[in-house]
Amino acid sequence: MRQSAYNNNIRRTILIVEDEYINQQILGNIAGEQYDVLYANNGLEALEIIRSLKTRLSLILLDLIMPGMNGYELLEILGKSDTLSRIPVIVLTGEKSAELKSFQLGAVDFITKPFDMPDIIMARIRRSIALSEDTYIIQTTQLDEVTQLYTREYFFTYARQQTDLDPDRVRDALVLNISHFHLVNEMYGRDFGDTVLRAAAGAISEYLRQAGGIAGRPEGDTFYVFADHRDSHAPLLEAIESAFSGLGSGARLRIRMGVCPGDGAAVELEHRFDRAARACHSLRNNYLENVAFFSNEMHERELYSERLIADVDDAIGQRHLQVWYQPKYAVQGSEPVLGSAEALIRWEHPQLGTIRPGTFIPLFEANGLVRRLDRYVWTMAAEQIRSWKDTLGVSVPVSVNVSRVDLFDPLLEETLLGILGEYGLTPEDLLLEITESAYTDNSGQVLRAVEMLRRDGFKIEMDDFGSGYSSLNMLRSIPVDAIKLDMKFICNITTSGVDRQLVHLIMEIAKFMGVPVVAEGVENREQMEFLKDAGVDIIQGYYFSKPVTPQRFSEIIKEAQAALRNGGQNAYD
Ligand code: C2E
Ligand code: MG
Ligand code: MG
């Protein structure tokens, strides 16, 4: 049995509402030993006292038949108020028939007249107060105020209780999340945000009444549902979506759901919800689907990711992480001229084989490790530039990728300048590529970082241009020195008129911004010719060369030098 939180040391105040003086006196004498007692002669007087003291009153003893406002009328008024209905009411009555109606109006107990058993009266008063105080504590700590669903802690307490009571029942862990909820709050205000949360919670509770299960709101716009197993919980999403459309606002509200199906019941409860949460999270940028299941495959992927994270130190120490170089050519002259290179990381894992950066960079961006990785790549690139200067007598500028995460590093500038200093280089030697979406995700911080780097003399290329959502307004003021067309525009330019138009449009934008354009992912002569005619200045792609080892790149430089000696152009002016 749970212990009551009733504390004997507090002196509580109770109100006796009774029109007969003698009854007031008898009850007052009995209760007065333990309670401060106030008196009212009818409903109206009582209401005045109740309204002024509110929940400082621990209990009301209420006669039913009184002149003016009677007991029923008072009960009805109290029942309509959220605050006042919290005060427990014991009805004083001589008639059995009055009990049902009083219960329906919210009374918690009865004391029958005449008042000849003081011990029983005191016991009932005490029990009603204790019950109501306990319920209040439960309501305020177990239930989330906004949605009336369980808080995180109690959600798990009850979920565990359910599995203990009925361990053979198969249940699913569901995590639901409202997309871009912070924007809903910002654009429509917190009150509307709360309305949205309540609409979702209402639909969830309704669904669970039929489907069986419990729900909680552990935080923000996230809901946990522990429901009896079903092959599909799609009707839950439909119910929430229809509740959203019932709000009749212009807001575009989307809900997504991750499911960890019941067969993983051997896994600890919290972990099942973590898994459902990760499944839900995997839908973050997916605008087509709104349900994801935590599957074995997903589990395998997570183990793989953890393996990569664990192996980074070794990879750096044992040079399994290498930096390769892909040449960039200036194409507007009569012959393409080798002008610079992009440094691209490669991982030759002794057990897992070659791993593409597309696999591990996003992972390391999520946990911050990318800062170490990038610092390593920049250092290797700087060492290489130095070596080409010293051994081949040429300065080949190398562009390195700067992750969006680096832009939040307070030591970024110091790190980059430190590396240049160490190898006797200047900012002209190291170009910086920053992906367009970094600007749009968090423009304030990114713009500050970029401006600082440009003041130091670094040239900034906006990578993957066209994949983010820069507004024209933003582009006008954005600090960049070149834009790098996103590859996806290029793969179809020979077949798609739309893509050709887009390239022309981007060339116009670049002109408007006053910066040169680099195209990457150029694989064949047709693409090359089209881009050259469209006015693209620099081209990078398999058409010229895949990314290659530093040794092979040295050969490419030597070939370019030989061509130069045979009357070609100077590649590095
Ligand atoms: P990115 O910076 O846009 O790099 C260009 C990607 O396009 C490279 O892929 C390159 O190998 C590939 N590519 C170049 N030409 C062609 C072509 O003609 N056809 C095709 N199909 N692909 C071509 P990679 O090396 O796999 O790198 C993928 C992405 O990973 C990079 O995109 C960049 O965002 C990231 N990345 C690579 N190295 C680093 C690094 O050192 N640090 C950071 N933060 N990110 C890196
Ligand atoms: Mg790049
Ligand atoms: Mg790119």
pLDDT tops 60 at residue 569: no
Higher pLDDT, residue 513 or 370: 370
For residue 134, what is the domain's CATH number? 3.40.50.2300
Centroid of ligand 2 to alpha carbon of 434 (angstroms): 7
- For residues 78-92, give the mean pLDDT: 90
Q: Are residues 471 and 510 in the same domain?
A: yes
pLDDT tops 90 at residue 97: no
pLDDT tops 90 at residue 338: yes
Q: Are residues 77 and 182 in the same domain?
A: no
**Three-state secondary structure along 296-356?**
HHHHHHHHHHHHHHHHHHHHHHCCCEEEEEEEEEECCCCCCEEEEEEEEEEEEECCCEEEC
pLDDT above 70 coverage of the chain, percent: 95
Q: Are residues 502 and 369 in the same domain?
A: yes
Confidence at 572, pLDDT banded by 50, 70, 90: very low
Nearest to 160 by CA among 224, 233, 208: 224
Question: Is the distance from CB of 519 to CB of 541 less than 8 angstroms?
Answer: yes
Centroid of ligand 1 to alpha carbon of 342 (angstroms): 9
Which residues, in sequence order, are bridge partners of residue 348?
354
Is the beta carbon of 374 within 6 A of some atom in ligand 1? yes
Question: Is the distance from CB of 431 to CB of 418 less than 8 angstroms?
Answer: no
Q: Are residues 229 and 334 in the same domain?
A: no
Is the beta carbon of 344 within 6 A of some atom in ligand 1? yes
Sign of the torsion formed by the C-alpha atoms of 475, 478, 483 and 487: negative
Tracing tokens 């109770």 back to the chain, one arrives at: 14
The pLDDT assigned to 568 comes to 57
Instruction: Answer yes or no: is 2 within a domain.
Output: no
**Three-state secondary structure along 265-304?**
CCCCHHHHHHHHHHHHHCCCCCCCCCEEECCHHHHHHHHH
- Out of 294, 319, 354, pick the residue that ends a domain: 294
Higher pLDDT, residue 564 or 257: 257
DSSP state of 523: -
CB neighbourhood size of 278 (10 A): 18
Q: 92 by DSSP, 3-state: which?
A: strand
Nearest to 354 by CA among 322, 314, 397: 322
Q: Whose CA is nearest to atom 41 of ligand 1?
A: 345
Which tens digits make up the pLDDT trace of 510-530? 898 899 999 999 999 999 999
Instruction: Answer yes or no: is 572 within a domain.
Output: no
Is the beta carbon of 399 within 6 A of some atom in ligand 1? no
For residue 290, what is the domain's CATH number? 3.30.70.270
Instruction: Answer yes or no: is 40 within a domain.
Output: yes
Question: Is the distance from CB of 124 to CB of 90 less than 8 angstroms?
Answer: yes
- For residues 12-29, give the mean pLDDT: 93
Q: Whose CA is nearest to atom 2 of ligand 1?
A: 401
* Ligand 1 nearest atom to the CA of residue 357, by list position: 30
Question: Is the distance from CB of 129 to CB of 5 less than 8 angstroms?
Answer: no
Q: Are residues 370 and 267 in the same domain?
A: no
Q: Are residues 287 and 376 in the same domain?
A: no
The pLDDT assigned to 475 comes to 72
Is the beta carbon of 345 within 6 A of some atom in ligand 1? yes
Centroid of ligand 1 to alpha carbon of 357 (angstroms): 7
DSSP state of 548: B
Q: Are residues 225 and 193 in the same domain?
A: yes
pLDDT tops 60 at residue 571: no
pLDDT tops 70 at residue 460: yes
DSSP state of 10: S
**Dihedral angle over CA of 340, 342, 343, 349, nearest 10:** -130
To the question of pTM greater than 0.75 for the whole model, the response is no
Q: How far is residue 455's CA from residue 449's CA, in Å, rounded to a whole number? A: 10
Supply the range of the domain harboring residue 256: 152-294
Confidence at 96, pLDDT banded by 50, 70, 90: confident
Q: Are residues 194 and 72 in the same domain?
A: no
Residue 271: C-alpha distances to residues 62, 173, 276, 293 (Å)? 51, 10, 9, 14
The pLDDT assigned to 477 comes to 72
Is the beta carbon of 521 within 6 A of some atom in ligand 1? yes
Is the beta carbon of 466 within 6 A of some atom in ligand 1? no
- Work out how many domains the chain is built from and give that number: 3
Q: How far is residue 43's CA from residue 61's CA, in Å, rounded to a whole number? A: 11
The pLDDT assigned to 398 comes to 98
Ramachandran quadrant class, 232 (left: phi over 0; alpha: psi -120 to 50; beta: rest): beta
Q: Which ligand is nearest to the CA of 328?
A: 1
Is the beta carbon of 542 within 6 A of some atom in ligand 1? yes
Residue 451: C-alpha distances to residues 187, 280, 389, 460, 478 (Å)? 29, 37, 29, 10, 9
Instruction: Answer yes or no: is 147 within a domain.
Output: no
Is the beta carbon of 356 within 6 A of some atom in ligand 1? yes
- Out of 294, 316, 332, pick the residue that ends a domain: 294
Which tens digits make up the pLDDT trace of 542-560? 999 999 999 999 999 999 9
pLDDT, mean over the chain: 90
In single-letter form, the type of residue at position 247 comes to: L
What angle separates helix 525-534 from helix 497-513, to the nearest 10 degrees?
A: 40
Q: Are residues 166 and 137 in the same domain?
A: no
Q: Are residues 549 and 415 in the same domain?
A: yes
Rg (CA), the chain: 36
Which tens digits make up the pLDDT trace of 153-182? 889 988 888 887 777 889 999 999 999 898
The pLDDT assigned to 454 comes to 95
pLDDT above 90 coverage of the chain, percent: 63
Of 41-55, 277-291, 332-346, 559-573, which range is least confident? Answer: 559-573
Instruction: Answer yes or no: is 4 within a domain.
Output: no
Q: Are residues 416 and 527 in the same domain?
A: yes
pLDDT tops 90 at residue 401: yes
Q: Whose CA is nearest to atom 45 of ligand 1?
A: 401
Most confident of 102-106, 441-445, 478-482, 515-519: 515-519
Q: Whose CA is nearest to atom 43 of ligand 1?
A: 401
- Out of 294, 319, 352, pick the residue that ends a domain: 294
